[in-house]
Structure 1
Amino acid sequence: MTKIKRLKWGVTIAAAQTEGAYDIDGRGASIWDTFTEKSYKIKDGSNAKIATDFYHKFKEDIDLAVDIGLQIFRFSISWSRILPEGIGEINPQGIKFYNQVIDYCIQVGIEPWITAYHWDLPQKLQDKGGWTNREIVNWYAVYVAILRDHFADRVTHWILINEGIVCIGGGYFLGVHAPGKRGIRNFISSTHHLLLAQAKGFTVLKEKSGLQVGTAVSCTKIEPYGNTIRDRVAANKIDALMNRLFIEPHLGLGYPDGDLPFLKRISKYYKEGDLEALKTDFDFIGIQTYTREVVKAAWYIPYLGAIQIKSQNRNVTPSVMGWETYPEGAQYFLERFAKYDSNKPLWLSECGMALAADEDDQERINYYQKIIKITETVSHKGINLKGVLLWTLVDNFEWAEGYIPKFGIVRFDRKTLQRQIKKSGLWFKKYLSEIK
């Protein structure tokens, strides 16, 4: 196997899924603390009050990443650990904690990356409407400025918002994620405000020279069930929703309301200059992809006119997440995003495979072997791919799925919190040592 030495390899984790320590050292409640109070909303009835206890075990986890040979440690900041009320007084203990994480990364020789927002909005801001309230654009900008002022002297790479479509779609349209809101009005308003916030956050971070600031876009390969015009139109609608809505406004292409007519309603939330303000020349774009969906036309589905064909109904064995594991999507989207701007640096900022506790970890090795082959293929095609960040280091709290899916290359015992590198982690250690 040809090795592409120029690629960097790292790992991604998220505060709400790993930190625990939900009510100590001045941290305020997040929407996920509130959402998981009703255990029936989480598949295994769990919560993230302890999670993997990264708050107390961050050195151990960073050491594991270094031991495996990873070069980048991407972690997210808990907004409510920095600003317990979401706005107002800064919590010095929160600043101290993230300073410790950053400093330890640098001490042991792994590059820290920050994700400013990975879905855990302070509950106090949700009480004011959360992402449906246009004031959040300013709330987010102030929060990002605080992060910049305290951490940007040592952290060069920043991801502003992780997977807007999942955050807003799950939390403000379908109600399956925190804060559990539903409805098209919630979805449209919060989409516009999140994109405005991200654009403003970019401007705030770029006030400090030398920073590389990007976004992380959730991408799902969408295919029509049949070759009929109706099925192809349905697939185009879902593709616009899943893969275009949260990036094309930033690229100056506007909202994809030609394929998604209901998006025309978003103009209700415009203020003068909004479309221009959305334009953002990110320093890089992170692509995150896991699965493929097949859809067919369904006239009775409001707004979308499409319905998903479940994996098991199209001769595909679903993963423990219920979706098709589809590493081939990485090549598809790297090539597709390169067409927006062939010079723009791209990262595969999340990829991974969910397994059940009793499944063979060799399947994860097979998955990553395919990812490596894809990186070689796209690199040889001249696509400006910079590196790959694995999802994830340690098995963690996977949102509404609880602790059932295992994405990590390190397992942990929920009772003892003891970590153990899996077969896939050991395989990666060997692979990374060979390409140095």
Structure 2
Amino acid sequence: MSKIKSLIWGVATAAAQTEGAYRTDGKGLSIWDVFTRKTHKIKDKSNAKVAINFYERYKEDIDIAVSIGLKVFRFSISWSRILPEGVGKINPKGIAFYNNVINYCHEKGITPWITTYHWDLPQKLQEKGGWTNREVINWYADYVTILRDHFGDRVKYWILINEGIVCMGGGYFLGVHAPGKIGIQNFLVSTHHLLLAQAKGFEVLKKKKNLKVGTAISCTKIEPYRNTSRDIKTAKRIDALMNRLFIEPHLGKGYPFQDLPILRRMSKYCIDGDEDKLKVDFDFWGIQTYTREVVKSTWYIPYLGALLVKPKYRNAETSIMGWETYPKGIPYFLNRFSKYDPKKPLWLTECGVALSEQEDDIKRIAYYREVISGMDSVLNEGINLKGILLWTLVDNFEWAEGYIPKFGIVSFDPKTLNRTWKKTAYWLKEYLSNIKL
């Protein structure tokens, strides 16, 4: 039997991008609810107040996933739906909603996975400093305790924080994502607190036996533009930022400041014992990769000294978001992560390609065919890959890009919210039925 047949296939979603119902049944505001009021920050001036209304149509979407043949349904919890103030009084209707989602998954024979944090911090906590406030470690731990106690009896697989580098980089350094903060100091302190919170969250969840707890790391292949010492060093510097900063502290390696000197400033936010608190032996690694970046050295970019060489100047194929479409990054990072610990289970917890409304969905099928080829190659090398979760099921609100990029294998009508299978969904259903033979 081909090893590719052993893989578990599923889909990944996120609360802030799909649920809508932003003030329904006692939900508090999140940082994204507030950020999208600044319409100039969102490309199509949209918001996620309704999104695809997963809150009311969750059964329909789970049914679609089951009909396609998917075995895992990964969704995130809206912190402010559980705790409208971020802390304190629990919203029973929020608990009831996620209980309904979990129970329906089990009823339909698809395994629910929970992501505890997918970028939507309660606004009330942001008003207290958000991730720049060290107290966020305790806020997060208390929140995760609530999730464990209410859902841990029926959900075995947990992802703590989704793509830390993206939510901290976009939200606390560049200001292009919620909450829109800018500056290296905001980035460094929030990153340190997020990693400490994640380690604490792991400890909280593991107090319940049999839970499998991991994290989802955003990975971007970084290459030098020229084969010069300056560009090679620049690529190593950016790789430390994009692909090591949110991994190595958990492995006990500390922050990679030798290759990214600006990280030495992190020491001002560290207190005695933090280095040990950061160490986490996750049950699995979730790997998420979409693109490749090529960089060259430059003197006028502060802190990083790097300039991205845009794909159009490299004749690279790009998505509607301007990212290079790079499925080759999948076997590269699966190999790279396996070197940290060859026995550690690996999951491809997100991958996908964004197309425009007008593009033929055949392009998405071609992308996933390349993904399958890459996974097959690493399985044949003996790498401990367990499964793949597609991003995503239904086209949804793609953060600052609004509804312009289409990542879903199912589309929706923005007026009626009715779902329509794309060519990829039909192809995937046939593929999954055939590999079972």
Return the alpha-carbon distance in structure 2 between the equivalents of residues 412 and 304 of structure 1. 40
1:300 deviates by 1.1
Counterpart of 1:288 in 2: which secondary structure? strand
Q: How does 1:91-130 map to 2 (within 5 A)?
A: 91-130=91-130
**Structure 2 equivalent of residue 231 of structure 1:** 231
**Structure 1 equivalent of residue 161 of structure 2:** 161
Return the alpha-carbon distance in structure 1 between the equivalents of residues 435 and 153 of structure 2. 30
Return the alpha-carbon distance in structure 2 between the equivalents of residues 319 and 158 of structure 1. 30
- Asked if the contact 2:8/2:386 (under 8 Å) is kept, the reply is yes
Return the alpha-carbon distance in structure 2 between the equivalents of residues 156 and 311 of structure 1. 40
User: Unaligned stretches of 5+ in structure 1?
Assistant: none
User: Unaligned stretches of 5+ in structure 2?
Assistant: none
**Quick one: which amino acid aligns to residue 38 of structure 1?**
K
Counterpart of 2:4 in 1: which secondary structure? coil
- Asked if the contact 2:161/2:198 (under 8 Å) is kept, the reply is yes
1:374 deviates by 1.0
CA RMSD of aligned residues (A): 0.8
Q: Residue deviations 1:244-288, cap 9 Å, x none?
A: 000110011110000110100101011110000000000000000
**Structure 1 equivalent of residue 347 of structure 2:** 347
Return the alpha-carbon distance in structure 2 between the equivalents of residues 410 and 369 of structure 1. 18
**Structure 1 equivalent of residue 285 of structure 2:** 285
Return the alpha-carbon distance in structure 2 between the equivalents of residues 91 and 398 of structure 1. 27
**Structure 2 equivalent of residue 10 of structure 1:** 10
**Structure 1 equivalent of residue 329 of structure 2:** 329
When residues 6 and 51 of structure 1 are mapped into structure 2, their CA distance, relative to the original with a 3 A threshold, is same
**Quick one: which amino acid aligns to residue 228 of structure 1?**
T
Counterpart of 1:182 in 2: which secondary structure? coil
Q: Residue deviations 1:70-126, cap 9 Å, x none?
A: 000000000000000000000000000000000000000000000000000000000
Q: How does 1:147-158 map to 2 (within 5 A)?
A: 147-158=147-158
Q: How does 1:27-176 map to 2 (within 5 A)?
A: 27-176=27-176
TM-score for the superposition, normalised by structure 2: 0.99
- Asked if the contact 1:141/1:197 (under 8 Å) is kept, the reply is yes
Q: Residue deviations 1:278-335, cap 9 Å, x none?
A: 0000000000000000000011111101010011011113210111010000000000
Return the alpha-carbon distance in structure 1 between the equivalents of residues 152 and 374 of structure 2. 33
Return the alpha-carbon distance in structure 2 between the equivalents of residues 146 and 298 of structure 1. 47
Q: Residue deviations 1:135-183, cap 9 Å, x none?
A: 0000000000000000000000000000000000000000000000000
**Structure 2 equivalent of residue 390 of structure 1:** 390
TM-score for the superposition, normalised by structure 1: 0.99
**Quick one: which amino acid aligns to residue 284 of structure 1?**
F
Counterpart of 1:25 in 2: which secondary structure? helix
1:3 deviates by 6.0
**Quick one: which amino acid aligns to residue 112 of structure 1?**
P
- Asked if the contact 1:3/1:435 (under 8 Å) is kept, the reply is no
Return the alpha-carbon distance in structure 2 between the equivalents of residues 331 and 194 of structure 1. 28
Return the alpha-carbon distance in structure 1 between the equivalents of residues 6 and 141 of structure 2. 34
Return the alpha-carbon distance in structure 1 between the equivalents of residues 233 and 242 of structure 2. 14
Return the alpha-carbon distance in structure 2 between the equivalents of residues 15 and 47 of structure 1. 13
**Structure 2 equivalent of residue 371 of structure 1:** 371
Q: Residue deviations 1:392-430, cap 9 Å, x none?
A: 000000000000000000000010000011000000000
**Larger mean Cα displacement after TM superposition, 311-320 or 260-269:** 311-320
Identity of aligned residues (%): 71
- Asked if the contact 2:73/2:105 (under 8 Å) is kept, the reply is yes
1:2 deviates by 5.0
Counterpart of 1:276 in 2: which secondary structure? helix
Alignment of 1:357 onto 2:357: yes
Q: How does 1:259-270 map to 2 (within 5 A)?
A: 259-270=259-270
Q: How does 1:407-418 map to 2 (within 5 A)?
A: 407-418=407-418
Q: Residue deviations 1:364-416, cap 9 Å, x none?
A: 00000111111111001000000000000000000000000000000000100
**Structure 1 equivalent of residue 24 of structure 2:** 24
Q: Residue deviations 1:187-224, cap 9 Å, x none?
A: 00000000000000000000000000000000000000
Return the alpha-carbon distance in structure 2 between the equivalents of residues 428 and 333 of structure 1. 24
Return the alpha-carbon distance in structure 2 between the equivalents of residues 77 and 199 of structure 1. 18
**Structure 2 equivalent of residue 210 of structure 1:** 210
**Quick one: which amino acid aligns to residue 369 of structure 1?**
R
Q: Residue deviations 1:27-63, cap 9 Å, x none?
A: 0000000000011100000000000000000000000
**Quick one: which amino acid aligns to residue 65 of structure 1?**
A
Number of residue equivalences: 436
Return the alpha-carbon distance in structure 1 between the equivalents of residues 82 and 220 of structure 2. 32
